[in-house]
Amino acid sequence: MKEQIETLVKLQKIETETNHINTILNEVSNKINSLDTRLSSYEISISQAEESLNILKKKYRDLETDIDMNNQTINKGKDRLNGVKTNKEYQALLKGIDELNKKNFNIEEEMLTLMDQIEQTQNDIDKQKDEYENLKQEVHKEKQSIIQGSRQAQKKLSELDNARGKISAMIAPDLLKKFQMIKDQIPGPAIVPIKGIVCEGCNMNIPPQMRNDLKKFESLKFCPFCYRLIYWEEQKTD
Ligand SMILES: [Zn+2]
């Protein structure tokens, strides 16, 4: 019986390791997703900045057109100045030209402000693009190492599968069946050591008589509290 129990303990180690690797593999897709999210938030931010840059440039061009049109009107007005008959008409024309010049002055002020904003936005885009490129390379490297790691994990997993097959073949079928049943029904390990009189599966104290029986390794025992298979493990003294 002792040998069978030791084999079960080995099987449990394989199961525990398998679970651990599966947890890591499940995390891989989460990790990759969060890296992609970091990249795409940059992409969104850059395209928003580019959009506002286009709006600013369009505004700037519109103002340029306004100035052109005003200048044309001003020039026409100037041409007409020589031909006017009355002083009143002359004054009105001058006033109109003056107003348009003032308008142009204000538009030019506005264009200067826009120019600053365009420059700032462009700088911001350039900076973000630089950061994005760096991040992209970083993410690429990280992904490579994650993928590398998960390949190793897959390899380890298939090694564990092989080992499980071999070990399982060494265990009596009904014992293996019990082990599987506990494994399917109770989370965590199916077979746990008793240390002192404490079950390592549930931390409860088992009856002292049970511990004495366990030490003999004559029969299979179950924890009366968590129903896992239990076995006696020598306390290491150091
Ligand atoms: Zn227990």
What pLDDT, in 10s, does the model give residues 73-128?
999 999 999 899 999 999 999 999 999 999 999 999 999 999 999 999 999 999 99
CA of 51 to the centre of ligand 1 (A): 64
Cβ-defined contacts of 64-70 (< 8 Å, 24+) = 64/111, 66/107, 67/104, 67/107, 67/108, 70/100, 70/103, 70/104, 70/107
Q: How many CA atoms lie within 13 A of 80 on its CB side?
A: 16
Q: Which amino acid is at 153?
A: A
Summarize the confidence of residues 1-5 as an average pLDDT.
Answer: 91
Residue 126 CA, chain-centre distance (Å), reads: 24
pLDDT value of residue 234? 75
* Cα dihedral 18/24/29/34 (nearest 10): 170
pLDDT value of residue 21? 95
Instruction: List Cβ neighbours of 64 (8 Å cut-off, separation of 6 or more).
Output: 111
Reply yes or no on whether the pLDDT at 238 is more than 60.
Answer: no
Bridge partners of 198? Answer: 195, 205
* Cα dihedral 175/176/180/183 (nearest 10): 70
| pLDDT tens digits, one per residue of 136-147 | 999 999 999 999
Reply yes or no on whether the pLDDT at 237 is more than 70.
Answer: no
**Angle between helix 87-169 and helix 2-81 axes, rounded to 10 deg:** 170
pLDDT tier for residue 22 given thresholds of 50, 70 and 90: very high
pLDDT value of residue 210? 93
pLDDT value of residue 159? 97
| pLDDT tens digits, one per residue of 138-195 | 999 999 999 999 999 999 999 999 999 999 999 999 999 999 999 999 999 999 999 9
Residues lining ion ligand 1 (Cβ < 5 A) are 199, 201-202, 223, 225-226
pLDDT value of residue 91? 95
CA of 193 to the centre of ligand 1 (A): 9
CA of 202 to the centre of ligand 1 (A): 4
CATH number of 22-170: 1.10.287.1490
Summarize the confidence of residues 43-66 as an average pLDDT.
Answer: 98
CA of 3 to the centre of ligand 1 (A): 22
How does DSSP classify residue 224?
Answer: T
pLDDT value of residue 236? 62
Per-domain residue ranges of the chain: 22-170, 174-232
